[in-house]
């Protein structure tokens, strides 16, 4: 059964196989494949996404990671640093590092790739901060279970985030403490 939300079918306890997966920082040569993955999920222009991914690689407060099998990029995830400004509304998400853009090729979903990408991003942030944030659609049970299994806990459902496509009342902000 496919959910109308656009998320992959949620199958708790699905078999996980990831012995051949290599998780590593993204490189310029990965950006086209990452852009294609993102566009396959969100739509838009692959060229525009590739340009944004290049800017992420050039920003020291951002991190992009890929999962690769046999030279093919099968997953992507990012980290950004968000800063609250005085002009922001009172319910703006707090300053800190945020996990963003976790996307796994549809043929590789439910094999633990998202967990590998998330653990690597948490490791990267742990070298820079003692906490990390993540927000998700309340209808995406797979990502919520994944992040809760990695010690994320709910902060609030009343928040805003720049560029966040979630409609009010459909998202949740989570936080995890990190040990460097």
> Tens digit of pLDDT for each residue in 37-85?
999 888 899 999 999 999 999 999 999 999 999 999 999 999 999 999 9
| Residue 101: pLDDT over 70 | yes
Closest CA to 113 of 62, 72, 77: 77
User: Which residue in the block uniquely carries the two structure tokens 């050039």?
Assistant: 58
pLDDT at site 13? 55
| Residue 4: pLDDT over 80 | no
d(CA 6, CA 2): 8
Instruction: Give the global pTM.
Output: 0.87
d(CA 32, CA 51): 10
Select from 3.40.630.30, 3.40.50.2300, 3.40.640.10, 3.40.50.800 the CATH code of 22-177.
3.40.630.30
Answer for the pair 115, 77: CB distance below 8 angstroms, yes or no.
Answer: no
């Amino acid at each position: 059964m496919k959910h109308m939300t656009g998320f992959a079918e949620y199958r708790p306890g699905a078999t996980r196989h990831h012995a051949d997966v290599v998780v590593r920082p993204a490189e310029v040569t990965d950006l086209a494949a990452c852009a294609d993955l993102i566009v396959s999920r969100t739509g838009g222009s692959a060229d525009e996404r590739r340009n944004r991914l290049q800017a992420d690689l050039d920003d020291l407060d951002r991190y992009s990671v890929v999962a690769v099998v046999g030279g093919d990029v099968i997953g992507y995830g990012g980290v950004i640093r968000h800063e609250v400004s005085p002009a922001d509304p009172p319910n703006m998400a707090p300053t800190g590092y945020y996990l963003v853009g976790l996307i796994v090729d549809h043929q590789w979903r439910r094999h633990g790739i998202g967990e590998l990408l998330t653990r690597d991003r948490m490791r990267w942030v742990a070298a820079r901060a003692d906490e990390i944030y993540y927000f998700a659609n309340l209808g995406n049970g797979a990502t919520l279970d994944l992040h809760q299994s990695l010690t994320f806990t709910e902060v609030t459902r009343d928040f805003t985030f720049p560029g966040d496509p979630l409609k009010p009342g459909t998202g949740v902000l989570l936080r995890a403490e990190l040990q460097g």
